[in-house]
Amino acid sequence: MPVTVQVRLRHGRYDAGSIRPSVAEWPPHPARVFCALVASAQSVEDWDALRWLERSGAPEVWADGSVSVSRTDSFVVTNQTEPSGGSQFWPGRTNQARSRASATPAGEDFAVVWPEADVTGDLVARLERMARRVPYVGRSTSQAEVTTVAMLPAERPAWSRWVPSRIGAANAVDLRVPYPGYVDALREVYDLGGRAWEVARSVPYGPLVDQIPAVELVRSPWDDLMIWGFGQPTARIGGDQVLRLTSILRKAVLKRIGSDIPAQVSGHGADERPHVAFLGLPDVGHEHADGHLLGVALAIPRDMPAEEWKHLVRAVIGADPLTRLTPRPMPEISLRYGADPRRRTLRVETWRGPAEGACSWVTATPMVTDGMLRARRSVEDLVAKSLARVGYPEPVDLEVSAAPLTAGAVWRPRRETLPEGRPKRPVTHVRVRFARPVVGPVIAGSLRYLGLGLFVPEREQS
Closest CA to 60 of 37, 14, 38, 27: 27
**Residue 87, domain member (yes or no):** no
Is-contact 113 3, C-beta < 8 A? yes
Q: Which of 160, 180, 210 is the last residue of a domain?
A: 210
For residues 200 and 229, state if they share a domain: no
Tell me the pairing of strands 144-149 and 159-164: unpaired
Q: Give the span between the Cα atoms of 434 and 67, in whole angstroms.
A: 32
Q: Give the span between the Cα atoms of 361 and 367, in whole angstroms.
A: 13
**Residue 462, domain member (yes or no):** no
For residues 181 and 307, state if they share a domain: no
Tell me the pairing of strands 173-176 and 202-207: antiparallel
For residues 255 and 396, state if they share a domain: yes
Give the N- to C-terminal CA distance of the chain in Å, as an integer.
Answer: 50
Q: How many CA atoms lie within 13 A of 406 on its CB side?
A: 25
**Residue 434, domain member (yes or no):** yes
Q: Which of 150, 183, 210 is the last residue of a domain?
A: 210
Cα–Cα–Cα angle for 400, 406, 409, rounded to 5 degrees: 90
Q: Which of 144, 179, 210 is the last residue of a domain?
A: 210
**Domain that includes residue 193, residue range:** 3-77+93-210
**Residue 167, domain member (yes or no):** yes
Tens of pLDDT, residues 366-406: 999 998 888 778 999 999 999 999 999 989 999 999 999 99
Please report the pLDDT score of residue 69 as a whole number.
80
For residues 448 and 337, state if they share a domain: yes
For residues 12 and 143, state if they share a domain: yes
Dihedral sign for Cα atoms in the order 266, 267, 270, 275: positive
The total of other beta-carbon atoms located within 10 Å of residue 67's CB is: 19
Is-contact 267 246, C-beta < 8 A? no
Residue 117 sits in a domain of what CATH number? 3.30.70
Q: How many CA atoms lie within 13 A of 201 on its CB side?
A: 17
For residues 169 and 244, state if they share a domain: no
Please report the pLDDT score of residue 85 as a whole number.
45
For residues 349 and 314, state if they share a domain: yes
Closest CA to 280 of 254, 246, 247: 246
Asked if residue 135 has a cis previous peptide bond (ω within 30° of 0), the answer is: no
The total of other beta-carbon atoms located within 10 Å of residue 117's CB is: 19
Note down pLDDT in tens along the chain; length 462 residues.
789 999 999 888 899 877 666 678 889 999 999 999 999 999 999 999 999 999 998 999 999 887 888 766 555 555 555 555 444 444 555 555 566 778 888 888 999 999 888 777 788 899 999 999 999 998 888 899 999 988 888 777 888 899 988 766 667 788 999 999 999 999 998 888 888 878 888 888 988 864 434 456 788 999 888 899 998 777 789 999 999 999 999 999 999 998 889 999 998 887 788 999 999 999 998 888 999 999 999 999 988 887 888 889 889 988 888 999 987 777 889 998 887 777 889 988 899 888 778 899 999 999 999 988 887 789 999 999 999 999 999 899 999 999 999 999 999 999 888 888 777 899 999 999 998 899 889 999 999 999 999 999 997 543
Q: Give the span between the Cα atoms of 143 and 12, in whole angstroms.
A: 9
Please report the pLDDT score of residue 99 as a whole number.
64
For residues 202 and 309, state if they share a domain: no
**Residue 352, domain member (yes or no):** yes
- Secondary structure of residue 341 in the 3-state scheme: coil
Asked if residue 221 has a cis previous peptide bond (ω within 30° of 0), the answer is: no
For residues 202 and 242, state if they share a domain: no
Is-contact 14 163, C-beta < 8 A? no
Closest CA to 434 of 216, 136, 232: 216
Cα–Cα–Cα angle for 70, 75, 79, rounded to 5 degrees: 140
For residues 206 and 229, state if they share a domain: no
**Residue 29, domain member (yes or no):** yes
Partners of 160 in the beta sheet?
A: 63
Helical segments of 165-273, H only: 182-191, 242-257, 263-266
Helix H or strand E encompassing 389: helix 379-390
Q: Give the span between the Cα atoms of 304 and 266, in whole angstroms.
A: 13
Cα R_g (the chain), whole angstroms:
24
Q: Give the span between the Cα atoms of 292 and 237, in whole angstroms.
A: 6
Please report the pLDDT score of residue 66 as a whole number.
79
**Residue 241, domain member (yes or no):** yes
- Secondary structure of residue 436 in the 3-state scheme: strand
For residues 194 and 289, state if they share a domain: no
Please report the pLDDT score of residue 197 as a whole number.
79
Is-contact 39 188, C-beta < 8 A? no
Number of domain units in the chain:
2
**Residue 216, domain member (yes or no):** no
Q: Give the span between the Cα atoms of 242 and 408, in whole angstroms.
A: 13
Closest CA to 173 of 36, 22, 29: 29
- Secondary structure of residue 354 in the 3-state scheme: coil
Tell me the pairing of strands 222-230 and 109-114: unpaired
For residues 234 and 191, state if they share a domain: no
pTM, two decimal places: 0.59
